[in-house]
Amino acid sequence: MSRVGFGSSLLALAFAGAAPAFAQSSPTTPAPEQGLADIVVTAQRRTESAQKAALSIVAVSGDALRNAGVTNIDALARQTAGIEIQPSGGPYTTFTVRSVSNLSGNAFSDPSIAVNVNGVYLATPTTFRGLFYDLDRVELLKGPQGTLYGRNATGGAINLIPNRPTFRLGGNAGIVLGNYSHFDANAAFNLPLSDAVAVRIAGQHAKHSGYMSLGTNDEDVNAVRGSVLFQPSTDLSILLSADWAHEGGKGPGATLRKACSALGRPGVSCFVADPYTDVGDLPAYYTAAGIAVQSRDPYLDSDYYGVGLNADWTTHIGTVSLVGGYRKSDVRYNSTATSWQIIENQHPTQKSLELRLASPSGQRLGYVFGAYYLDTAMHAHANGESATAHNYSDQRTNLTGWTGALFSQLNYGLTDTFRIVGGVRYTYEKKNSDSNRYRLVANGPDPVIPAAPPGAPTNVIAGSRDWNKVNWKAGVEYDAGPRSLLYANVSTGFKAGGFYYGPPGFTTYEPEKVTSFVAGSKNRFFDNRLQLNLEGFYLKYSNQQVSFVKLVTGLATLVTENAARSHAYGFDLDSQFLATPTTRLSFQAQYLHSKYDDFTYLTLGAPPAARTSCTVSAGSPPNAAVDCSGQTTLRSPTWTLVGSVEQGIPLPNGGRLVGEANVRYEGHYQTDLSYLPEGVANASARVNLSFGYEAPGNAFSLKAYVDNVTDATTITATTMSTSYAVNQAFGARLLPPRTFGVRGQVKF
């Protein structure tokens, strides 16, 4: 990043002052003179103020998401510090929190962050699409959540909570118009049918043309959700919901990046052309290396379905909650977002049920008891290009599995201000595979894929594995004042092992385990106008799961292997300041130091020893050994900073003019396990501005916006080409360029 850019970002952050302005737009926000709002969350499986929850949590209201133009999960990371959400090939999504990451890219992938919709856990990383509309809030929980969330929550959890039906006739509608043919329409309608029954229908259409030259990095989503609330008494509520979404368009795209010296230019790593030139428009860089050009016809064509049940019954011993869900997807895509072609048809399904009892609030002994069950099935047919060998892998994956858990978390007040906390969770998980991989002799782009397997399999992944683990949590909480909380805890987390397409004897990976040490403080000062929340953390991992692409039997393969040991430490700062009744400042920061203490992997395609930060040795010929011990973990910037300012100008009619400025600075980080310079995502600062009018009572609003004002080119992820030996290229995926337009909202 240039000195000018870094200076500008610091200046903007200093101007923005001290947690994000988006928290203020909760529907329950009091008038400014009452101070900062108390955001109500259910992150710990009970209803409480976010300021009383003894964990690092950011709550983002649905109104704030609409104001920021967030219509998909990939864009959520731009609203806060400390979480990386990156598109992979096709519809896959990769999450990283506090150094915990799992590159998602095939049917064997498991996410490392637990994403939940209305309490229903989403088991596969292709099912997070078409959900960002008519939301009450989003909760981002940082750090391992092994006791209350369990499965695949060693990095944290994201809770999406849609608006529930209410017993008031009304609704809302919104529209966004912008460059790149951006058109986003959303609406919700709420209808009470009686004193005990209400329904709500909501939908979204979000579309813009691609930012890349071929039209990739576009959006084309249609979604609808319906819900029915039965509330015969104040003690009982039953919510039934169903949703559907379709995602089309071309999907994510990539451009090529190489060592500058290979292009005859000064510098370290350079784009081969304009950064927004798609790989499909760079045929010469493929043919010059003797490999086929890339497809000019990438696409997404996926449907997502879900039904859910949320029942809550309040009794004298607490609230009994039953959460059930069924979800399925039909995912089809052709993607070159990694710089080589991947084609897949995937059909995951899941059924889940959770039963909980949460104690009444305000008593000395608080408790949560629960049981959980999840059943999953995955059937997928995928073809991935191994360009140098002029062939494709033909993967026919069939997976089933189930997991069950019993859990409890207790807190007991030794005094009116001092509590001890303890929790335990037992998890059993079983996975079954009947999967085969074949070599398809074909040349791209867009090969003809035979319906039947092409000969004998090159890899057979068949069998069953199971694991069980007891996780625990122990801590203390102290109310240092009416609006001050101090806390510290130690907890463990567990993520089950699994399968991948490796050579005989190397087809499975082991569970990931983490021990987390946390100390934090949450505070409100100056008549509830200043918020300062700070959490320090230290994470110690054994067998941390690392997913990356390497060559196995001459085929490009996404594998998951275990780093024997790793660690991370740092802190999260979340602050807000209501400087005047019309001026709100906010600032978030995360500092992260993370290392692989012991990690070596074998590959047929090792990075050049003279240029990688890892150590390359002979290994077990023909495989080279790549020792990355001591390297910073993937997708882990040292500093992430988010600052914003909101200034309102009251008008005589009771409305107001409002301007907002936001900047997010992120330091550089390595995105590829080759640890070559071309795999580094550049440090960048992205500035967003908006200005508009809000009618009295916020009945309607109209705002103009500019996102990424400076038109910064920001790399979000890279992948070492499977043909690196001959083309020395990396595929690079980018965040959007400068976008602008108008957003309108109306409530009725």
Q: Is residue 300 part of a domain?
A: yes
| Predicted local distance difference test score (pLDDT) of residue 30 | 37
Is the confidence at residue 75, as pLDDT, over 90?
A: no
| Predicted local distance difference test score (pLDDT) of residue 63 | 84
| Predicted local distance difference test score (pLDDT) of residue 620 | 85
CA-CA distances (angstroms) from residue 449 to 250, 280, 302, 440? 20, 20, 19, 8
Residue whose entry in the numeric block shows the structure tokens 């790149």? 180
Q: Is residue 455 part of a domain?
A: yes
User: Of the given ranges (376-380, 451-455, 533-537), which has the lowest mean pLDDT?
Assistant: 451-455
Model confidence over 673-729: pLDDT tens digits?
A: 999 999 999 999 999 999 999 999 989 999 999 999 999 999 999 999 988 989 999
| Predicted local distance difference test score (pLDDT) of residue 27 | 38
Model confidence over 589-630: pLDDT tens digits?
A: 999 999 999 999 888 888 999 999 999 999 888 889 999 999
| Predicted local distance difference test score (pLDDT) of residue 8 | 39
pLDDT-based confidence at residue 29 (cuts at 50, 70, 90): very low
Average pLDDT estimate for 640-651? 96
Are the C-beta atoms of residues 410 and 399 closer than 8 Å to each other? no
Average pLDDT estimate for 649-663? 96
Q: What letters, b where the CB count within 10 A reaches 16 and e where it falls short, cover 461-497?
A: beeebebebebebebbbbbeeebebbbbbebbbbbbb
Integer-rounded Cα radius of gyration of the chain = 25
Q: Is residue 68 part of a domain?
A: no
CATH code for position 729:
2.40.170.20
Is the confidence at residue 11, as pLDDT, over 70?
A: no
For the chain, the average pLDDT equals 91
Q: Is residue 446 part of a domain?
A: yes
| Predicted local distance difference test score (pLDDT) of residue 591 | 98
246 versus 13: the higher-pLDDT residue is 246
Q: Is residue 150 part of a domain?
A: no
Q: Is residue 75 part of a domain?
A: no
| Phi, psi for 15 (deg, rounded to 5) | -65, -40
| Predicted local distance difference test score (pLDDT) of residue 689 | 97
Model confidence over 517-568: pLDDT tens digits?
A: 999 999 999 999 999 999 999 999 999 888 888 777 777 788 888 888 999 9
Residue from 77, 113, 78, 109 nearest 91 by CA = 109
Count the domains in the chain: 1
| Predicted local distance difference test score (pLDDT) of residue 70 | 82
Q: Which domain holds residue 531?
A: 3-20+168-747
| Predicted local distance difference test score (pLDDT) of residue 588 | 95
| Predicted local distance difference test score (pLDDT) of residue 609 | 94
Q: Is residue 492 part of a domain?
A: yes
Q: Is residue 61 part of a domain?
A: no
| Predicted local distance difference test score (pLDDT) of residue 431 | 97
Rounded Cα distance, 424 and 426, in Å: 7
Longest dimension (CA), the chain: 79
CA–centroid distance for 29 within its chain: 27
Is the confidence at residue 218, as pLDDT, over 50?
A: yes
Is the confidence at residue 651, as pLDDT, over 60?
A: yes
Residue from 241, 10, 16, 280 nearest 117 by CA = 241
pTM for this predicted structure: 0.91
| Predicted local distance difference test score (pLDDT) of residue 102 | 75
